[in-house]
Copies of this chain bind each other. A is one copy, B any other.
């Protein structure tokens, strides 16, 4: 198998796995026993020295150590999958090089936003609730009725890595911040509901 994804049932690994399932990309799914600390033991530390999940091995590419390319950070894994396996930025898929460049840039923007700015607001919600509600207010204005972020860019490129990162993080909201009232954000609510109905998402999250 070209792609090997390492993770555990309840970690941010779910997002790259959801991407692979949505796109029908073949991969091997390797579950680590995080309760037993398997992610902090030498075999996995050779893949991600920080001992954090998820991590990806791509055996189609050669990494700096001469072995398969090893990649950590869920956002970087998503961008790599979008680039080489989801064909989201290929000229063939998007029409021309400029459209590819724009789509690649905006996808990185939303992945960075989800994994840094939005995650920081989620994690800091107890001490600074106003930051999360401010972000949600802006997002509510930006999300289209279909919930897709890049829909306006060069026709509808369909569901992609930007949606996976942002929609995945929005769907964490009811779990991580159940006290947040989502009534003022109908499009955010609709986006969460839409995510929760996707078959691949339900399968990966164990909701199916």
Contact = CB atoms under 8 A, between A and B. Distances in A.
A117 B104 CA distance: 22
Interface string A106-150: 101101110111011001100000000001001001100000001
A137 to B, nearest CB: 10
Interface stretch (A3-11, A24-32, A66-74, A198-206): A66-74
Q: Which 7 A-B pairs have the closest CB atoms?
A: A73-B112, A76-B109, A64-B152, A76-B108, A64-B153, A75-B112, A116-B116
A49 interface: yes
A102 interface: yes
This chain: copies in complex: 2
A101 interface: yes
19 contacts: A49-B142, A58-B105, A61-B98, A61-B105, A62-B102, A63-B106, A64-B150, A64-B153, A71-B106, A73-B109, A74-B112, A76-B105, A76-B111, A76-B113, A79-B108, A80-B108, A84-B101, A119-B120, A120-B120
User: Which DSSP category, helix, strand, loop or mixed, fits chain A's interface?
Assistant: helix
A83 interface: yes
Contacts of A72: 109, 113
